[in-house]
Structure 1
């Protein structure tokens, strides 16, 4: 089997998990589309003669054993958010395989092993904890903590995968992740490629608003104990406080009980995604929104419980490594820019593995949406940038 080039690989992935209605992708972990993608990756690795390793939770690494010593790892993830875009994750995996091809075509022989990774459940779209695969691989999250996580249908994480001790990343000396940019910084700069300087701290918080179910027609407005009102005010407060502070706050998921058109709800559960420029700003934003929600709950005679489900602190990538990756390219240095999106790279960096990120320009600036995109010329520029980076780091 001859390994496919970038455009053929991208074309092969395009229909997997794609909705005919919206054009978006549904590639949730341990579902058929994601398993098809994993099988595809295994086939591409085998076609290149790469040595495959996996762990008990489904993370994969395909090794090019061209050298010895601490390996240089690249790659990303293959899962998506609900109704997501094509590029978030898979672009990094496809580009990594294509970068290995480019190095081989140019006769580059690394002195260190080069690996291509696929981490599971990066988005947290099924089991609620973002970067779950890389957290387990680094030991940042234990199997005991992860095994009881449940998806919206009540399926536990331990029902779809096995548990085990981390070890897949033993021998990894450095990690480089290529990713489509989730924003417009590179568009505004007129640059196709960028390098990450940091990841903003971010967290997911579950807000549970309790009330009393009642008839929508016969219950007077002044007699209602309606948690939807408390939630609505909280969503507006989060928007206002984030705007005032120049931060990010989003309520993007809501569950209502009993969820009937003609019933006052008994409960509303909503998840706040908050991202800020510093750990202190994140704590202050969440505290302010929670306080205002509690004050409104008291006026509405509803109840409120706030539970942090996952919180990731600020990640500052190795500045010297970023400079080394970004400097001295044809056309000038690549820009070094921050991101407010979470990535597996942030988890590996926090675990003490020297880490860098490359971004490929996204002309719409839109992500986690079917409108997410990148041009083929920019994608190929990303492949070349990653190959050049791996050559610098592995030779």
Structure 2
């Protein structure tokens, strides 16, 4: 794709990156075949190729409009197009650049601005979000139906083994997961403890930064990244931890991107690259330990009836982190039968705060996904990202849990 970027961005780091990405696009349109919003809306501008053209026009000096912003807002950032693209176009990074420029030219106003500001201030702050969720649970009958459906019941975490092994890993606590599903990280800690690894959380670490970054505050998202790096760095520098384990695949994509996000920051570039290299989704960690773990799973499953489950692979897992087949293999070793899921590559509509900002599209995607997940005779649904779990769980007829909770589920506290 030929480019002629405008003076305001041509010689900037973002401009050079955008130009490199744009020049890889060959207009083939393969991406539209796997784009959830294009499949729903049938509008070229609601598919990756159309959005690339919109971003190119803005970067070449054509003023952005509210319509431009709407088409970019409708993108789920699922990165399915990146999996499909034969040319290796890094659409996600281009979208980040384009959204920043468009949002500067078309400031948010009114209710939309207030909604985004509230989400930026509440969701990334774990204590604030936890208090708000507690109030929501207490007064759930008084909430509007749509909001009430998103308020999940409280559940205990279960035991977390004390550190006792020479091998040690850090867990990202995150922002919403400790309040909504504390059992996920606790179950991961018990699993790793079985194979000789102690999992710890680091005081001071918090939101991965994705919430602010994708809500018109990229500087705030980078601030959150620096905050986490500072919290983790003493243990990393001392060489006492071998990985940063993330149990929410959406957060994993963000943390693995720290090296890119902070590449132009002279104070943090090297540290960010190191953190990105250490970041591991829990599937990567347990998959690498399969030789130790699978015999334990098989022994635990021996003599038990095989249960049928449906696995929803989050977009952040399969398209963002490029992890496929690992979760399925571990669940199979644990004695579960995975039912086929139609259109498993498509998004469920959660996409971070997307379900709150684009509720109609999100609902349609969720309902389509639940039809596929619940249509094969499964007893329950499992996923790998807190947003997907809560989004699907708001309307599912079956229980929805994180897959790590099922591996030794009779030993979990529920």
Give the TM-score range, shorter chain: under 0.3
More strand by share: 1
User: TM-score of the superposition, structure 1-length normalised?
Assistant: 0.23
Larger Rg: 1
